[in-house]
Structure 1
């Protein structure tokens, strides 16, 4: 049988700049996403992490999405 649901959950981080870039950008279209885990007991708020986005070709803020 499966174990109880633990404190760590899988989350999806999405680039905030890719959504605001117009379609005539020099890089590919779409928004880039990372997957990670977080401890839901210690971090109850949504995460915001600054990571590299290959679509924007720069470091930008990634926010946790549902």
Structure 2
């Protein structure tokens, strides 16, 4: 039957460079922070997830870290 806690959970990844440096990066007036959603296995990856993804506001590949919902 169904178990109480799912093994795979949905997480949100947010650009660490946009958050750290503010919204106005490289003299461009960006209006947000790059976010991705993905899934991770809770048993195999108990720590916070960090992946290199393309940030549409920085126009570079940057580290995107897991945030709380």
Paired position in structure 2 for 1:61: 63
Paired position in structure 1 for 2:38: 36
**Alignment of structure 1 residues 1-66 onto 2, 5 Å:** 3-4=2-3, 5-19=5-19, 20-21=21-22, 23=24, 25-66=27-68
Q: Which runs of 5+ in 1 are unaligned?
A: none
Q: Which runs of 5+ in 2 are unaligned?
A: none
Structure with more helix by fraction: 2
What is the TM-score of this pair, normalised by structure 2?
A: 0.81
Q: What is the Cα-based RMSD across aligned positions, in Å?
A: 1.7
Aligned residues: 64
What is the TM-score of this pair, normalised by structure 1?
A: 0.84
